[in-house]
Amino acid sequence: MANPSDINDRVALVTGGSRGIGRAIAVALADAGAVVAVNYRSRADAAEQVVAEIRERGGTATAFAGDVSIPDQARDLIDRVRAALGPIGVLVNNAGIGPVVELDDLTEDIFDETLRTNLTSAFVCTQAVLADMRAAGWGRIVNLSSAAARGPGVVGVHYNASKAGLEGLTRGYAARLARDGITVNAVAPGPVDTDMAEPLKRSGVADRIPVGRMGTADEIAAAVHAVVTNGFISGQTISVNGGTLYA
């Protein structure tokens, strides 16, 4: 009987996998033996660098273009990954945006774009992989949330709403898919030292984190790896925030 925690040779799709946290997750899953699809929207060179790094480490990876905030592109991405690599067993919904917008400057367009990218994309991609996972009787879905889902955050209410919705989506799917052998969890980082976090770094946020520093992308990737390789964790949000918030 196969080890239910083994992801060796499983196909893993990481959306937004060309940089930052997504890059670290793609590398960590490849190191664990997964065949990784590195999704990117516009940074083809960066995605190919991630693929090259994985291959240099002895892993297997391929880059796939696609804007998952557009449902037709998200579904097409899933179809192309399946055709090239095989049925998808691990889905990491990491693609996201976080434009820093003050309350009085927030528009409906910014709000809608943030929810499409951070929340709707996770729904569309999840729906698209369920047939593969149900057929296999095994699946792992991880949604990248944020400390902003449960705290005030510094990006804006549009970001709070998108990440809080993602955690609700996580619990709803987890409750309905457990009997199919599919676990669904969220990982909620606090401030992480990536290029997307430049506004946070300039604000001095590290001084307000109990551990005295921002997190690293590798630390978030380790949490994703932990839930992907544990079949008894489902419906949970794993907070990785340096002690900033307590679940």
Q: What is the pLDDT of residues 106-137, one digit of tens each?
A: 999 999 999 999 999 999 999 999 999 999 99
Where does the pLDDT of residue 200 fall: very low under 50, low under 70, confident under 90, or very high at 90 and above?
low
SS3 content of the chain, % helix, strand, coil (to 5): 50, 15, 35
Question: How far is it, in rounded angstroms, from Cα 161 to Cα 149?
Answer: 7
Where does the pLDDT of residue 1 fall: very low under 50, low under 70, confident under 90, or very high at 90 and above?
very low
The secondary structure of residue 246, as a DSSP letter, is -
Q: What is the mean pLDDT of the chain?
A: 93
Mean pLDDT of 192-212: 75
Share of the chain above pLDDT 90, in %: 82
Question: How far is it, in rounded angstroms, from Cα 144 to Cα 198?
Answer: 19
Active site residue 40: no
What amino acid occupies position 134? Answer: R
Question: How far is it, in rounded angstroms, from Cα 147 to Cα 234?
Answer: 19
The yes-or-no verdict on residue 54 having pLDDT over 80 is: yes
Q: Of residues 40, 159, 173, 246, which has the active-site annotation?
A: 159
pLDDT of residue 244: 81
pLDDT of residue 156: 92
Where does the pLDDT of residue 234 fall: very low under 50, low under 70, confident under 90, or very high at 90 and above?
very high
Most confident of 108-112, 149-153, 203-207: 108-112
Q: What is the pTM of this model?
A: 0.94
Cα torsion at 149, 152, 157, 162 (round to 10°)?
-10
Domains identified in the chain and CATH numbers: 11-240 (3.40.50.720)
